[in-house]
Chains A and B, each alone.
Chain A
Amino acid sequence: MFKFIQKLAEPYFADRIILNPRHVSSLPYSYKQEREPGYSWYFLMKCSFIALLIQFTFAGLLLASAVKGQNLNEVKVALKLNNATVKESLLQLQENSAIKFTLFNQLLAKEDKKVTLNTQQISVSDALKKILSGTRLNYKLVNEFIVIEAKPVPPKPGRISGKIVDDRGEALSGASVRVIETGSGAVAAVDGTYVLNLPPGTYTLEFSFMSFQTQRVTGVVVTEDKNTPLDVALRTDTKGLKEVVITTGYKKASVAGLYAQQKNTSNLSDGISGDQIEATPDKHVGETLKRIAGVSTNENRKVVIRGIAERYNVSLLNGSSLPSTDVQERDFEFNLIPSNLVENIVVAKSMTADMPYSFAGGLVQITTKSVPESNFFSISLGNSFNSRTTGNEFLGYGRGKYDYLGFDDGTRNHFPTGLLNLIGQFDPTKDDSQNKIKASEVAAQNKRIGGTERLGARSFQSLPSQNYQLSLGRTYSLSPDKVRKFGFVGSLSYRNTQTNDYVPNMRRGDWSHEPARGDDPADVNTGNIYGFNTTLGLLLNGGFKTEKHQINTYNLYTRIFDDRFSRYSGWTFESPKNDTDTKYPSILEDDRPKFTDLLQNKVSGTHRINSFTIEWGLARTSLKSVERDAISASQSAKEISNRVLYTYSTGTISDPGSGPLHRDEYIYKENNLDAVLSAAYDFKLGKTKHTFKTGANYLKKHAFYDWQILPIAKGPNSTVPIELIPVQDWGNYMGMEDVGHSLFYFKQDYTSNEFEATSVNGGTFLMLDHKLLPGLRVVWGARAEYFKLDTMKNSASLLRDKNSKIFFAEPKDWYFLPSANITYSPIKDLNVRASYAKSAVRPGLMENSRFSRYNPNYGSVVRSNGVSSTLIDNFDAKIELFPGAGELLSVAYFYKYFDKPAEYYRLDNENNGRGYITISNSDWAKVKGWEFQLRKSLGFVYAGLPFLKDVFVSGNLTLQKSQVRAREVQYETTAAGVDTMYYKYLKYPRALYGQVPLLYNAGIQYAGKKLGVNVTLNHSGYKTFITGIEPAYVEYERPRTQMDAQISYKFLKGKIETKLNMSNLLDAPIRYFINDPTTYELKPGNEGKVNLEWNDKYAYKFGFSEKFEEGYVDPVTNRRVGDRETFTRYVGRTFSLSLSYNF
């Protein structure tokens, strides 16, 4: 028999103590567990000791196999225990019984039970029971040893959760589910969801609801601490009161539930559920949107659906519209919303009358979680590296101390109130007696505004992007047998991203459009766009639901600090390169630090009372965007003997504008109030079911925009040596002691510099939903929609626009918008759909402002000519086949007629060859296209490889064609002096703004239990970027193919998940071009004719077309003949690694 004596000198390191009764008396009653000096030595001792212990223990057990056990009931002992610990009690029992004990010190240390047992005779088994009762310890007899061990931990319960729907996909609130084996059950909440907590095992569930066939699902496996999803679709009981029970297997039932939801939406839609999102490595919604058929995003901001541009798509967060985070363009940064908080994303592509907002491409509905199915707490962190950013030079103007936290430290605050307007009131060439505003007042104003320390490009170390997120979800049930659940989901996230986009070619707008000599490769305009973005996000949703009622609240706050610093160098359209004074390029810098706060609060409810369902929602959204100390500065180059001297240019008092160097502040505030209310009544006519639904919605927007522009100028005779003074020190030369030779802020206001407008969008609808024959559903109705835009203040931002007006031609306030959807399922798993809807896309608040601003990346001023609503007739047809769970094959055709589509135009009314970009209504547009979609598991390829069932190939293809009748606005003043406008209609056919005639996505995805791999390829064909009235103004984006890949792996039973995202693996550039006038020529016989339209007058030369052709350099003229590559941008490859831990 094996015996072991523990060394007294090393008690702390004993994980297991085997005591020989003969030596028990030598043990102290208690001993200190102190760590001796020399930790490493002890650590080695500990390792050796444990290894030896394990070996000896198992060896001892093997050797002892021949020894027979004792009958513990027969061995009697006397015990005298008074308030003794468990350990002390066992030691005494051991000593008195002479039976060998095996004790685990760590287990005994956890027990704080005190034992009092004084007896002269008690069996060892009874003594053990008394000592160990109420503890987490157990005993067993192994040969001659009594082994004290921990009681087995009871398994954690698992869950079954899902949604109970009817065979048309509608939630069955109040349906019940019962577990046959245990008799326990649950009732579906108002949204049809249910949750059952059960010990691990295999169960049979019974689903039932009045007027529906009861359904039993067998073989539902519950595993420890896991959720088993099971959505079930119940069939209508057509046989009256006769009890019918359908029994089916788990897999079949689950698949049917999924089918029912996919197949039976009343409109054409695609989406992605929370479960599906969980299977992807996506971090935010911007990444997830791209996975939905027919949806693509531009830099995670602008959503393109079916190749239709962002202007015609609407994005809703929890049912409320999202304001644009950019004033002059419609976009929303979808990367603000973490994917793991999303319940689902549905993109509706056809309309029903109950949809409160009109669209033409699609309606993106993002719903975040409100009440989680189970408690969770997770933390995730990640880094990303960009091949063109990380480790490279990162330029920008001076930063603030708290930029990494998303807040300004005050160094950008140079815009005090009550600044004096110097226009016509101060001239530095005159003395004080001739100036209304004195030099000392200007000096004081300069001091109030502050110095120029932040100016001047400087280099920073670019850091990898980083993101952190904490998410917490809690759910509570107030009743064991009824649905009385409330819960909340919260998330706190932080992200800092730094990007450096390289622009190797800039030939837009004010920049030179071609090299002065065709063979000079150095005559090119280049630049970089540096992006520094810090985003803080706080989301807190909560809800309460019962069988009949559900109330949710959604709250989202995001703080974004986004600083875009563009720096271009090159030659301008007006001053192309030559060998004398413009030998070297000039530099244009533009810094736009923008702080955005977005707060959305929403309360919504659903109530089901008998046959009535009432839904309501009330939301308030506020956006405040402050662009503080935005700086535009240009530097001219001068070649002196020993260097090229770059000097920041100043404005002059004769310059009626912001001049070459100005610092600005732009404050945009938008408050939206959004309310929806609807009531639906379900009724039967014979065997057919019908729903009557009516409701109303109201959306009020109030926008306020304020801007201040502070040019830095000097007098015409100033001798301030700006070549010698670094721009960051210019503030030291603003004291106005020598008036004629100082620098000063030339504050100039031509107008009030304000814009304020409100819009009200109201609507009411009636809708009927008929479930007629088996497999036939007709939904039809109409909306009456009201829109009114009131502009209270509308200042011009440029002097030349001071006397211009915006002609806002909204023909009427009310529109009647009918819609109808028909779905027919002639055979199982096949849907045939057709729909028609009329929709109206309304102008944005700022789209009718007189505000103009230079966009450095467009090389042009962007302004508005005023736009009105666009009416769209939408016709859709689709055939869907669902061959298996999660599988889909569909073909769709759509035709849309746009009445007065709003498009971004480049106009050149001043005939300067560069023009500006504006938004304006064309006459009409027609868009038609085909859409194909496939998602299929590879399980059918070879049954011998089970993993193939988890491999899905997916793809979608959109082919479309559009045609626009463009028009050009003409202004005229009548003899009576009244300003009027009219349109000149153009025959030149071209595609609609934002159109992509060819768009496809292809992907292969493997989603195993631990490993996930996803590779996607996205191709976008020619896209109309900016339109115009002739080819020389129409800018296209060239086809682009992007490849992304993701690998994810789960560790520790899914508690830790790592994700490696690789995006833009091909480093595909984003390239734009214009069909240059060198590529087309006059048709014979048209010389001298001036009133012909382009296509009557011109034809493309041989070898050239509307598509991109690089062309050649004409050896005779040494000029380039070919399409103008207007803008090329490389964003680099991004590799991001993230790790999340679920507690």
Chain B
Amino acid sequence: MIKKIKISYLAAILPVLLFSACEKEGTHIMPTIKAINKNFEISGFVLGDTIEQYFDGLKMREYYGRVSQSYAQNQMAFVTDEVNMELRKKSTGETVYQQKFSINDKDNVVPKFYFNGSQFSNQYTYPAVQGNDYTTNFFVDSKGASAPVDINLEVLEYRYDDTKPDPLIVVNTTVFPLAKNIQPGEWTAYVKIPAPVVIPQQSGTDLYPIVVVRDSKTQEYYIDKDRDRSVINMELPYVGVSPGKVQSVYLNRKPADGTNFYLEQYELVQLFPR
């Protein structure tokens, strides 16, 4: 009987003792950071295909349009002495750029780049200024809409009536077509922007030139059929005043809150100054 008790006791207690020798510390799930470099920079522009940014094989974010850094993204943490960054083309997974950063580097800067959907380059190329001419090209992104668009320089003749809900009363519009039937997804050829010269039709009115996008087929304003939200912010020439200028305008219709849209726009010559 005593023997049986001994055997039973040992049978019961041995696994307990066995498990009591099990791991106590475990493996910390948060890695130890060796250093944080606060001089990381990345900038550029992406269109045509999305660029995925990987660090040490871990995808951190995607870039499309202007590449910029937000709050605290100038910091780079080193768990090991080196961080490997890869920029990959989303559609194919192909690595289009790779850079390694060392824990000993003072600055961790990625050279400014332009990716047009197929080629990765360190510069966006554009023609030189021709005299006093204002030239521009446009890129309407097919991500926003696939229908072709027209871009006009329109001069609004308006008067102001603050008794009305919309106090801006447009009495006449003069249109200067800049580009017609623009196919989304392609840069247009450079066109010259004329200096808008318009004589007011009514007294007490003012003139206000805008560059605006319209649907080629319906001629409705491009963004929610709303003139003000379809305006491109770009510089226009004034006769005898302006020196020449080159502009490359990127446009994309993007959803805003609810069912509304807005017009995302970047001027690439400003982003890639010579």
**Does B20 touch A at the CB level, under 8 Å?**
yes
Contact residues in A for B9 (Cβ distance below 8 Å) = 470
| Option from A401, A463, A494, A723 in Cβ contact (under 8 Å) with B33 | A723
The answer on a CB contact under 8 Å between A458 and B42 is no
- Listed residue (A379, A461, A463, A642) with the most chain B CB atoms within 10 angstroms of its CB: A642
B78 to chain A, nearest CB (A): 9
**Does A1115 touch B at the CB level, under 8 Å?**
yes
The answer on a CB contact under 8 Å between A1143 and B4 is yes
The answer for the CA separation of A469 and B11 in the assembled complex, in Å, is 10
**Does B128 touch A at the CB level, under 8 Å?**
no
Contact residues in A for B60 (Cβ distance below 8 Å) = 641-643
The answer on a CB contact under 8 Å between B33 and A724 is yes
The answer on a CB contact under 8 Å between A470 and B83 is no
The answer for the CA separation of A401 and B21 in the assembled complex, in Å, is 7
A476 to chain B, nearest CB (A): 15
The answer for the CA separation of A1143 and B25 in the assembled complex, in Å, is 41
- Which residues of chain B from 1 to 53 have any CB-CB distance to chain A below 8 Å in the complex? 1, 4-5, 8-9, 11-13, 15-16, 19-20, 22-30, 32-36, 40, 42
**Does B127 touch A at the CB level, under 8 Å?**
no
- Which residues of chain B from 220 to 274 have any CB-CB distance to chain A below 8 Å in the complex? 257-259
Contact residues in A for B70 (Cβ distance below 8 Å) = 580, 639
Contact residues in A for B4 (Cβ distance below 8 Å) = 377, 1143
Contact residues in B for A1117 (Cβ distance below 8 Å) = 258
The answer on a CB contact under 8 Å between A640 and B8 is no
The answer on a CB contact under 8 Å between A468 and B25 is no
| Option from B34, B42, B77, B259 in Cβ contact (under 8 Å) with A1116 | B259
The answer on a CB contact under 8 Å between B19 and A463 is yes
The answer on a CB contact under 8 Å between A643 and B55 is yes
Q: How many residues of A contact B (CB 8 A)?
A: 47
The answer on a CB contact under 8 Å between A724 and B35 is yes
**Does B75 touch A at the CB level, under 8 Å?**
yes
The answer for the CA separation of A470 and B70 in the assembled complex, in Å, is 64
The answer on a CB contact under 8 Å between A581 and B27 is no
**Does B98 touch A at the CB level, under 8 Å?**
no
Contact residues in B for A642 (Cβ distance below 8 Å) = 40, 55-56, 60, 76-77, 83, 85
Contact residues in B for A466 (Cβ distance below 8 Å) = 15, 19
The answer on a CB contact under 8 Å between A379 and B8 is yes
| Option from A398, A399, A456, A460 in Cβ contact (under 8 Å) with B30 | A456
**Does B73 touch A at the CB level, under 8 Å?**
yes
Contact residues in A for B28 (Cβ distance below 8 Å) = 456-459, 726, 728
**Does A356 touch B at the CB level, under 8 Å?**
no
**Does B199 touch A at the CB level, under 8 Å?**
no
The answer on a CB contact under 8 Å between B12 and A470 is yes
The answer for the CA separation of A1118 and B70 in the assembled complex, in Å, is 25
The answer for the CA separation of A643 and B72 in the assembled complex, in Å, is 11
A826 to chain B, nearest CB (A): 55
The answer for the CA separation of A458 and B28 in the assembled complex, in Å, is 4
The answer on a CB contact under 8 Å between A641 and B12 is no
**Does B173 touch A at the CB level, under 8 Å?**
no
B87 to chain A, nearest CB (A): 13
Closest residue of chain A to B83, judged by CB?
A642
The answer for the CA separation of A494 and B17 in the assembled complex, in Å, is 12
The answer on a CB contact under 8 Å between A400 and B24 is yes
Contact residues in A for B23 (Cβ distance below 8 Å) = 399, 460-461
**Does B69 touch A at the CB level, under 8 Å?**
yes
With contact pairs A404-B22, A641-B69, A1116-B259 given, residues A458 and B29 touching in the complex (Cβ less than 8 Å): yes
The answer on a CB contact under 8 Å between A399 and B24 is yes
| Option from B27, B30, B35, B56 in Cβ contact (under 8 Å) with A646 | B30
**Does A255 touch B at the CB level, under 8 Å?**
no
**A-to-B contact residues, CB < 8 Å:** 377, 379, 381, 395-396, 398-405, 456-461, 463, 466, 468-470, 492, 494, 496, 580-581, 638-643, 645-646, 723-724, 726-728, 1115-1118, 1143
Q: Which 10 A-B pairs have the closest CB atoms?
A: A458-B26, A642-B55, A640-B75, A468-B12, A404-B20, A379-B8, A641-B40, A460-B26, A404-B19, A641-B76
Q: List 25 A-B contacts (CB under 8 A).
A: A379-B11, A398-B25, A400-B24, A404-B16, A404-B19, A458-B27, A459-B28, A460-B26, A460-B27, A466-B19, A468-B15, A470-B8, A492-B12, A639-B71, A640-B40, A641-B74, A641-B76, A645-B72, A645-B75, A645-B77, A726-B28, A726-B32, A727-B30, A1117-B258, A1118-B257
Known pairs A461-B22, A468-B16; list 13 more (Cβ under 8 Å).
Answer: A395-B29, A403-B20, A458-B26, A458-B29, A470-B12, A639-B71, A640-B75, A641-B69, A641-B108, A642-B56, A642-B85, A645-B36, A727-B30
